[in-house]
Amino acid sequence: MAVDPRIGLLRDLLSIEPEDARARIRVVRTLEDINTFSAIVSRTRRRDIGAFTTRKPSAPLVLFTPEQEVVYNTVLTLSRRIVELQTPGMPVEFLLSMLRRQAASSISGLAPSSSKYSKTGWTKSSSQK
């Protein structure tokens, strides 16, 4: 197996003063080029494109329509009853937390997983298969 000539370049770059930012960037780029998957997978890193990529998260308050609220409450009420029957003594609020978050985020996004239960049933034996 032949040694990649970029290995020598890396040794030279690594011998340069560690505070040299340009040398550090060349080391990182050379290492990425040596990576077998670099031709297949490319990534843009925040450090490569600057500070303008800083996210400003927000959580706007959006109210349900009356119909959505009925569906949300019905789904959670039914799910609570099922969880209480199937897992007595378990912390119901914890078990429903992901369902509550998904339903609050997108009630229609919950449809694929809920349709699975409507086809297979909500019995304890079907959930353990």
pLDDT tens, position by position, for the chain (129 residues)?
Answer: 467 888 888 888 788 776 777 777 888 888 888 877 777 777 666 666 666 666 778 888 888 889 889 989 999 999 999 999 998 888 999 989 988 888 888 877 777 766 655 555 545 444 444
Are 44 and 90 contained in the same domain? no
User: Residue 61 domain-assigned?
Assistant: no
Are 48 and 72 contained in the same domain? no
Are 32 and 76 contained in the same domain? no
User: Residue 59 domain-assigned?
Assistant: no
Tokens coding 101: 């978050």
Are 70 and 110 contained in the same domain? yes
How many domains, the chain?
Answer: 2
Note down the domain range covering 18: 6-53
DSSP 5: T
User: Residue 58 domain-assigned?
Assistant: no
